[in-house]
Amino acid sequence: MVVGALLFVAAVALALAGTVAAGDAGEVKVVSDSAVYGGGGEQVVFSGNVLATAGVWRLAAASLRADVGGVEKEYRAFGSPLTVFGETGEGEDVVLNAMRLRFSGGDALAEGEVRLCAGVDCARAEVFAASARWRGDSESVELRGTPARGSWLPPEGGEKVRARARVLRFDAVSGWAVLQGDALFARGDAQITGEKIEFNLRTGEMKALAPAEGRVRAILGAGE
């Protein structure tokens, strides 16, 4: 059950980090209804049916502000919602929706009704959150919501894995994922709930902490 979480966090990381990497390291092509240049051409605001393309990644938004004069380029996109289209290294479709998106220097922040879909008809993963942050320097992902929730199909197949928490953090360096606040981790009929659930994708180790008043609760399905 723990191994399947890798696809979930990887899908989020790919959607955000792929956009950042393409935007900062490669050529970005933008078309829009209008563009206003300022700051000696180092700031550009594109408005109306904006479509930005960088490698395999495409961004469709109502507006896009590009600050390209500094050492680190910064892009801010807005929509109702905006959409990022891309694909995983295995060629599966990834779609990210949000109201706002900021990316700069290897970091990205998506806010407002965030939805991530991976695979045809979201067959691989589907995630809902208020915000999703990717930090490139530490290779970490943080999802926040009331709660944030998601489901994904493990690489080995079988039943989908489900998770929810007010805050979900994943550190790619250490392999630890943390579900904090009204946390649930489940697959099929088996589930565990608590205030905080921690698991390591590499070792399979899992720890669950009870709320201040209450207990950790587990339901084990047949064969667990």
Check pLDDT > 50 for residue 6. Answer: no
| Cα Rg of the chain, angstroms | 19
Report the predicted TM-score, pTM, of the whole model to 2 decimal places.
0.81
Residues 2, 153: Cα–Cα separation, whole Å: 12
Would you give the distance in Å from CA 216 to the centre of its chain? 27
**Contacts of residue 82, Cβ cutoff 8 Å, sequence gap at least 6:** 59, 60, 61, 62, 97, 98, 99, 100, 101
Average the pLDDT over 36-58 and give the result. Answer: 84
Q: What is the pLDDT confidence band of residue 48, given thresholds at 50, 70 and 90?
A: very high
pLDDT at 23: 47
Model confidence pLDDT, tens digit, residues 170-203: 887 787 888 999 898 887 788 888 888 888 777 7
Q: What is the mean pLDDT of the chain?
A: 78
Query: For the residues of 43-61, what is the DSSP string, one character each?
Result: EEEEEEEEEEEETTEEEEE
Contact assessment for residue 183 and residue 195, using Cβ atoms and an 8 Å cutoff = yes
Count CA atoms closer than 13 A to 187's CA, side-chain side.
Answer: 16
Q: Which of 24-28, 50-54, 62-66, 131-135 has the highest mean pLDDT?
A: 62-66
Q: Where are the domains of the chain?
A: 5-219
Check pLDDT > 60 for residue 22. Answer: no
Q: What is the pLDDT confidence band of residue 224, given thresholds at 50, 70 and 90?
A: very low
For residue 176, report the phi and psi dihedrals to the nearest 5 degrees.
-85, 135
